[in-house]
A and B are shown apart, each in its own frame.
Chain A
Amino acid sequence: MELLKERQDQIHRTGEEPFALVCNKDSLAGAVSQRACVFCGSRVVLYPIADALHLVHGPIGCAVYTWDIRGALSSGPELHRLSFSTDLQELDVIFGGEKKLTAALLELIERHKPKAAFVYATCIVGIIGDDMEAVCRAVEKETGIPVIPVQSEGFKGNKRAGYTAACNAMGRLIGTGYTADISPYSINILGDFNLAGEIWMIREYFQRMGVEVVANVTGDGRVADIKRAHGAALNVVQCSGSTMDLANLMEKEYGVPSIRVSYFGVEDMAQALYDVAAHFDDPAIMDKAKELVAEELQILLPKLEFYKKGLAGKKAAIYVGGSFKAFSLVKAFRLLDMEVVMVGSQTGTEEEYRELAEITDPGTIIVDDTNPLELTSFLEEKEVDIFVGGVKERPIAYKLGVGFCDHNHERKEALAGFSGMLNFAEEVYRSVMSPVWRFT
């Protein structure tokens, strides 16, 4: 397939040329990028905070397309599952939306009694120039809850900029809660969004090790926990793209160090627990971590055998939001004796792609911010058996007669942790081994 010239430097083939890949550049006009916008990035990160009000300031679309789109579960309040909008109309656009925003905030805070409110700026708000800071300050004063503007105008960069805006917003909550009763062996979990209940599983692992979890950022998140997150001894950051900024901010302002982990795949999950234990430098914690891993593996590995037998040698392609997750997926497929032939992400960094190039087999395609036509040509060229991606990628795979595993925000299966690895194997198996491909 002929590639758009401007796209060539965002694609790399492992081993066939020295590593070079351009990323974090604006999507090309007319290329049908799979990317979303700044607002999407912010919304994705903050949305699982279940007792906060999430008000989208803008015309209706931006809010309605994000209504309950993710599988981020809550053990309590479910305010995050509602879609609130100021639904700007023509007159608001002409005369400014500040009055409407104030009134909407007061109305919704009165109605739902949230613990905090996040107000998301959309493109149009950036243009009409509403002073969201001032509105939020005034409403905060009147209602007594934190009201925080999120500077997420869609056009001001890509999803990554949205992560930063979200982290800045959370930064305003952190440092305002009571911390004296927090254990010295304590962590915050950053970058897990409790899709299909994953954070509950991870929290349980840490509890078994004797480590206290102060705040979930943000899966099953609560405003009060985030306010006291600075009292934790360590930030454990997953999916580095989305919450790394917050970890950096907390390190700078409160001296909380951070480590990067991944909970996908057996190796990375175990490593995450060991890294946390090692940080606390307490043999008891490390012993418990080892015990836990041993126990879980004893349950898991025999069960994986069945799937490995069917899947060995099958080819996988990966296209996910952040490239950090891609690492774990590459390893997870290896554990199943499968071959990864393409890896890509919407928002990876050059460093991450370089590392990917190092750990993948020769010939593997590495790609940044791709589009349906490119994806198709890669899937065809590599004769892929299963494609891992999000909803937008699913019909592409299916049209080509390729299996699919949803590894995005909408998934209903927990894929993290040890039992998540089993779910992952099962899901891949269910798709790859289905008899329906005979007819395609």
Chain B
Amino acid sequence: MSKNPPKNYISTTNACKLCTPLGASLAFKGIEGAVPYLHGSQGCATYMRRYIISHFNEPIDIASSSLSEKHAVYGGGPNLKLGLQNVTRKYQPKLIGIATTCLTETIGDDVPGLLKEYEKEFPGVKPLLVPVSTPSYNGTHMEGFHDAVASTVNALAKAECKATHGVNILPGLVSPADIRYIKEITTDFGLPATILPDISDTMDGPVTKTYEKIPAGGTPLADIETMPANKASIEYGHTMSDQSGGRILQEQFEVKNYRQAMPMGIVATDLFLATLTEIGGTSIPEKYRAERGRLVDSYVDGHKYISGKTAIIYGEEDLVVGLSAFLAEIGVIPILCASGGKSGKFAGEIEKATGDILASQPQVFEGMDFFDIEKLCEELQPDLIIGHSKGAPLARKLNIPIIRVGFPIHDRLGGQRILHLGYRGAQYLFDLVVNAVIAKKQDDSPVGYSYM
């Protein structure tokens, strides 16, 4: 993979990853009636809320055990139980998703054990308690996200449910706009979908005039229970662990699992839609043929402006894989793919996604931070930078246009409405890419063209 691997620095500067419980919290936010709960000290929860709010502009309540020094010494069990009671009383949640933090992992709190005690000590009707182990010194927010989904499936999915005719979709961390679009697609395909998690309403809700303790929306618990009865699962991404939600459904309930790249660009979306027709036994609705046709038409209209331009892409591994495939098919050459994640699968997936188009593979590095990315960027002089808003300072410094995608978008409005997936997402991204290149040319030119 690597041509000139960056020097292996000991310190991390401007990380290109977030911590594990943040991912878990976001995943739990996509479950009906759920409240994310961090078993740890107060700061972690507050920081993550702040970080998430700045992207979605939505309230997000993440409860915390608020451990103090004495709990750290004697164990956080009592505070965990107290916290759960308080959350139950105030929020009346249907589910509490309990993620651990570095602190409680290190002091060795046995959360599943504590929850068993809690069940015994406080009998009666309670919200479902779903624990997930998320030490941040082990993995990134994506591991936290996928593990929270897997834990939820594990806890809720039931063997004895009636066969349905739907599909499970485990999209990973995508935007509310993406999820709304997936719903539209599956509905148009006549295929009822259980999308887990579903943050389309909970993290992009209307003005309510009142504060909903738990915003409406999220994957219904009843639907999660019946996931084993659906015909198949489609799981976006190849870099997560084997213990994913889709794999669990396959192994425990024999629900066929399709692992595919995020449907970004034409090739990946074709595969996604073909898979839906395979599962549902229907054909592709005309609406999507038309969307695809318009997309191809625009590719043609815009190709010359971007053909042969180079790009660096960073972010979560699976997102970068998806973006690489998309960029490659429109003629933009990814020259650096960087992620803070460390799945060990990154370079292989980039190769699979782009190998038939790109003449040579980009440099692909895991475990990168923005210091490394900047160094390589200075050397490589790309035409475009593509990723979340944390690359904006770099883009500004090097005077290279940046296309903002993914999470977080902290310096622009509407991160939750960015559409990445499907033909429509490709259309949106394509226009962005072409116009960024044109705008740069226009800005740098003394002429100021009135026509492209």
Tell me the A residues contacting B by CB distance below 8 Å. Answer: 4, 26-40, 55, 58-69, 81-90, 92-93, 100, 103-104, 107-108, 123-124, 126-128, 153-158, 372-373, 376, 380, 391-392, 394-396, 398-401, 439-440
Contact = CB atoms under 8 A, between A and B. Distances in A.
Contacts of A88: 102, 137
Interface string B54-78: 1011111111111111011000000
A35 B107 CA distance: 23
A83 B13 contact: yes
Contacts of B420: none
B138 A89 contact: yes
B9 interface: yes
A63 B15 contact: yes
Nearest to B206: A399
Contact of B14 (A37, A38, A83): A83
B37 interface: yes
A400 B55 CA distance: 19
12 contacts: A29-B65, A33-B42, A34-B46, A37-B44, A59-B137, A61-B102, A63-B12, A85-B12, A89-B137, A108-B13, A154-B41, A392-B46
B40 interface: yes
| 6 A-B pairs closest in CB distance | A37-B43, A61-B19, A30-B83, A30-B86, A29-B83, A376-B211
B54 A155 contact: no
B61 A60 contact: no
A256 to B, nearest CB: 32
A158 B72 CA distance: 15
Nearest to A55: B11
Given A34-B46, A37-B44, A83-B15, 13 more contacts: A26-B68, A30-B63, A32-B62, A35-B42, A37-B42, A39-B43, A61-B47, A64-B17, A83-B13, A87-B11, A394-B57, A395-B58, A398-B207
A30 B85 contact: yes
A381 B253 CA distance: 51
A379 B19 CA distance: 33
Contact of A82 (B13, B56, B57): B13
B48 interface: yes
Given A126-B72, A391-B54, A33 B64 contact: yes
Interface in B27-61: 37, 40-51, 53-54, 56-61
B46 A36 contact: yes
Best-buried of B46, B65, B135 by chain A (most CB within 10 Å): B46
Contact of A28 (B46, B53, B86, B103): B86
Best-buried of A31, A35, A69, A376 by chain B (most CB within 10 Å): A31
A69 B37 CA distance: 24
Contact of B137 (A37, A92, A373, A376): A92
A87 B63 CA distance: 25
B321 interface: no
B319 interface: no
B53 A392 contact: yes
A155 B209 contact: no
A162 to B, nearest CB: 9
A419 B243 CA distance: 58
Nearest to A104: B11
Best-buried of B60, B71, B86 by chain A (most CB within 10 Å): B86
Contact of A26 (B45, B50, B66, B106): B66
Contacts of A372: 59, 61, 211
Nearest to B22: A61
Nearest to A108: B11
Nearest to B89: A4
B4 interface: no
Given A61-B19, A86-B11, A155 B208 contact: no
Contacts of A92: 137
Nearest to A159: B43
B384 to A, nearest CB: 23
B84 interface: yes
A321 B21 CA distance: 25
Contacts of B17: 60, 64
B65 A60 contact: no
B69 A155 contact: yes
Contacts of A90: 135, 137-138
A53 to B, nearest CB: 10
Contacts of B393: 68, 81
Nearest to B88: A30
Contacts of A380: 210
B57 A65 contact: no
Contacts of B292: none
Interface in B325-358: none
B223 to A, nearest CB: 26
Contacts of B44: 37, 61-62, 154
Interface in B76-99: 79-80, 82-87, 89-90
A31 B17 CA distance: 28
A84 B10 CA distance: 11
A40 B47 contact: yes
A395 B37 contact: no
Contacts of A35: 42, 46
A128 to B, nearest CB: 7
A66 B212 CA distance: 28
Given A127-B106, A395-B53, A60 B12 contact: yes
B213 interface: yes
A408 to B, nearest CB: 10
B136 interface: yes
Nearest to B12: A87
A62 B54 CA distance: 17
Contacts of B79: 29
A10 to B, nearest CB: 14
A4 B90 contact: yes
Contacts of B102: 58-59, 61, 88, 93, 123-124
Contacts of A104: 10-11
Nearest to A81: B393
B18 interface: yes
A400 B43 CA distance: 26
A107 B67 contact: no
Contact of A84 (B11, B42, B56, B66): B11
Nearest to A106: B10
A154 B65 CA distance: 13
Best-buried of A61, A380, A396 by chain B (most CB within 10 Å): A61
B390 interface: yes
Best-buried of A30, A59, A62, A64 by chain B (most CB within 10 Å): A30
Nearest to B85: A30
Given A93-B106, A156-B69, A376-B210, A30 B43 contact: no
A67 B14 contact: yes
B443 to A, nearest CB: 24
A33 B137 contact: no
A40 B393 CA distance: 23
A401 to B, nearest CB: 5
Contacts of B211: 372-373, 376, 396, 399-400
Contacts of B19: 59-61, 64
Contacts of B72: 123, 126-127, 155
B14 A82 contact: yes
A254 B66 CA distance: 38
Contacts of B61: 32, 372
Contacts of B86: 4, 28-31
A128 B137 CA distance: 13
Contacts of B87: 30
A182 B209 CA distance: 57
Contacts of B42: 27, 33, 35-37, 154-155, 158
Interface in B401-436: none
A55 B11 CA distance: 9
Contacts of A157: 68-69
A127 B69 CA distance: 10
Contacts of B137: 59, 88-90, 92-93, 124
Nearest to A63: B15
Contacts of B205: 399
